[in-house]
Amino acid sequence: MTYDPNAPDKTKSPRATVDSIITNFQQLNTIFSNDHEAFTISTGKHKKIEFNNNNTAGTQTGTQSAIYTSGTPPQVKFKNSAVDYFMTGNFTNGTKGHCFLPGGFLLQWDRITGVGNSTPATFSTPFGVIPYAITLNIEGTPNTKTVGYDNKSTTGFNIKTNGTGLTINYMAIGQAP
């Protein structure tokens, strides 16, 4: 027995379509329990939510919000009348990479070798605004070496150190584009 979208049939008496109506009610639990808890549990919770990719959230006004997917590979985004930002992101695995974090943040990192007095560092993807924070460390035993930065921008910064040939690791966090 399968769900019949035409039951009850308004051209027939209810008695003539009662079997179709009963079948529809029996099928509802099967249909809804695919992505939701079954009706017998009475929790009203989802088991999962599936999105079609490349959807757009449309226009949200007032207190309306939307959760949708966009991009390749698909990433979950949140949008309301004020913001439109990533909730998830493609994790770039390696010494240089980035990932989007909930709340519209972007985290980036890199390992740069052969760093001297003033070495440029370029982010793998530009930030939406100048990053909030950049942390650096010298790999290995730095002894009396120090590291810092200047000229911070949405696309990178300059690593400043009093040594040569150093390996520097950094992490930067800021607003996603």
What does the pLDDT look like over 36-87, one tens digit per residue? 776 665 666 777 777 776 667 777 778 888 888 877 777 787 887 777 777 7
Whether this model's pTM surpasses 0.75: no
What does each C-alpha distance from 136 to 16, 95, 108, 145 come to in angstroms? 77, 14, 12, 12
- Convert the pLDDT of each residue in 95-146 to its tens digit: 888 888 877 889 999 999 999 889 999 999 899 999 999 999 999 877 788 9
- Which residues are CB-neighbours of 76 under 8 A, at least 6 positions away? 51, 67, 68, 69, 86, 87, 88
Q: Where in the chain is the domain with CATH 2.60.40.3940?
A: 97-175
CATH number of 97-175: 2.60.40.3940
